[in-house]
Amino acid sequence: MKHIVLGYDGSAFSMQALDWALDEAELRGLSLTVAHAWQWPYGEAPEEARSHLRKAAEHVLWHGADCARHTSSGLTVETDLHEGPAAERLVELSHEAALVVVGSRGLSALPRAVVGSVAGYVATHAHCPVIVVRGPGPLPAASQPGPVVVADRDPDAAVLDFAFEEAALRRVPLATSADVTAWAARHPGVPVQEAADFGTATLVVAGRRRAAPAGVAASLLQHAPCPVAVVGG
């Protein structure tokens, strides 16, 4: 059975992502895998030094998993500790995942970065949908949640399937400028409205084929005021 994968490094951004990943797992009835990667950045090193770094990584992973277990209602939480690049490991894990959730940037990102290299790489290369959690404050809870917004003018079927599923799970409307008559018939419980301002959205959804540097998804990953889902092949 597929699961939700969370990329976690202990940063405030990954804590936001943890909140969102928990919500996804509980809404979908799936388990959560908290994943953390580490690597020695200075070339050759004595084993003792590497051991200290690994223990620090184990502590970060334990903290994320412990937070997940104590803030969920009986959710199955597993862990994945990897020595090597975080982005590559998350893409590898995406083969068996229903969804990968990451923060917009992590501890290693430069202060000026709007979206970190890990988030950008995973969103572009993963084998399943990826949600990059952006926006201020606690997520995803909101007193008046906005719609799920489809950003693409000509969305792929995978984008619409995912967007309708998220809207149904969260019991919010779907907003889009595309003709979604066929999808709306399959999801009669999801109200459909005209495209909304991204600033009001609970989630913005875009196709992965538009995640290239000049694409819609790439722009959203840099500037959207809310979480962004990147979907499709």
Condensed to tens digits (0 to 9), the pLDDT of residues 31-78 reads: 999 999 998 777 676 777 788 889 999 999 999 999 999 998 889 999
pLDDT at 110: 42
Residues 48 and 158 in one domain: no
Number of compact structural domains in the chain? 2
Mean pLDDT on 188-205: 90
Residues 113 and 81 in one domain: yes
Q: What is the maximal distance between C-alpha atoms in the chain?
A: 62
Over residues 101-128, the pLDDT tens digits come to 999 865 444 443 445 688 989 999 999 9
Mean pLDDT on 85-105: 94
Residues 153 and 126 in one domain: no
- Write down the mean pLDDT value for the chain: 87
Looking at the domain assignment, is residue 217 inside a domain?
no
Residue 128: what residue type?
C
Looking at the domain assignment, is residue 32 inside a domain?
yes
Residues 45 and 116 in one domain: yes
Residues 28 and 93 in one domain: yes
pLDDT at 134: 84
Q: Which of 25-39, 99-113, 184-198, 200-214 has the highest mean pLDDT?
A: 25-39
pLDDT at 144: 79
- Which long-range contacts link 39-42 to residues 24+ away (Cβ below 8 Å)? 39/83, 39/84, 39/85
Start-end of H helices in 44-85: 47-71
Full domain range(s) for residue 86: 3-133
Q: Decide which of 108, 133, 158 is a domain's last residue.
A: 133
Residue 99: what residue type?
L
Looking at the domain assignment, is residue 140 inside a domain?
no
Please give the backbone phi and psi of residue 173, each rounded to the nearest 5 degrees, phi first. -70, 165
Residues 119 and 188 in one domain: no
Please give the backbone phi and psi of residue 172, each rounded to the nearest 5 degrees, phi first. -130, 160
pLDDT band at 210 (very low <50, low <70, confident <90, very high): low
Residues 11 and 125 in one domain: yes
Q: Which residue in 56, 69, 58 sits closest to 35, CA to CA?
A: 58
Residues 165 and 98 in one domain: no
Residues 118 and 156 in one domain: no
Residues 8 and 100 in one domain: yes
Mean pLDDT on 12-39: 94
Over residues 134-160, the pLDDT tens digits come to 865 555 556 678 999 999 888 999 999
Q: Decide which of 133, 158, 189 is a domain's last residue.
A: 133
**Which residues have a Cβ under 8 Å from the Cβ of 86 and sit 6 or more positions away?**
7, 9, 35, 36, 37, 106, 118
Strands 203-207 and 148-150: parallel
